[in-house]
Amino acid sequence: MKPCPICQIPHCEHERKFYKFGLIKLAIVQKSLDTTVMVFSKLMTFLPTNAEMQTKVSLSFEELKKCQERITDVKRWCEVKAS
């Protein structure tokens, strides 16, 4: 892992501030993604589609759900680093 760009010491207070700032940004991304998943879910039930398009829509929804899981993993990692 790289040392802090400010003081060149690993695991310093600056580094924790970077991770805390990252957590704030991740919270914004997570809220946006949660809203996107919710809207996409409603859209899936609303749109009349054929079988081919339904498969594509379902795969897209699954990918969005996987993104939610990945963001949660990154958030947990940042929380550990920030503490």
Q: What is the pLDDT of residue 1?
A: 65
Q: Is residue 22 part of a domain?
A: no
Q: What is the pTM of this model?
A: 0.75
Please state the φ and ψ torsions of residue 18, each to the nearest 5 degrees: -60, -45
Q: Is residue 70 part of a domain?
A: yes
Number of domains composing the chain:
1
Residue 25: band (very low, low, confident or very high) from pLDDT cuts 50, 70, 90? very high
In whole angstroms, give the CA distance from residue 17 to residue 14: 5
Rg (alpha carbons) of the chain, rounded to whole number: 18
Q: Is residue 12 part of a domain?
A: no
pLDDT in tens, 31-65: 999 999 999 898 888 888 888 888 888 899 999 99
* Residues spanned by the domain of 49: 33-82
Q: What is the pLDDT of residue 24?
A: 93
Residue 2 has pLDDT above 80, yes or no: no
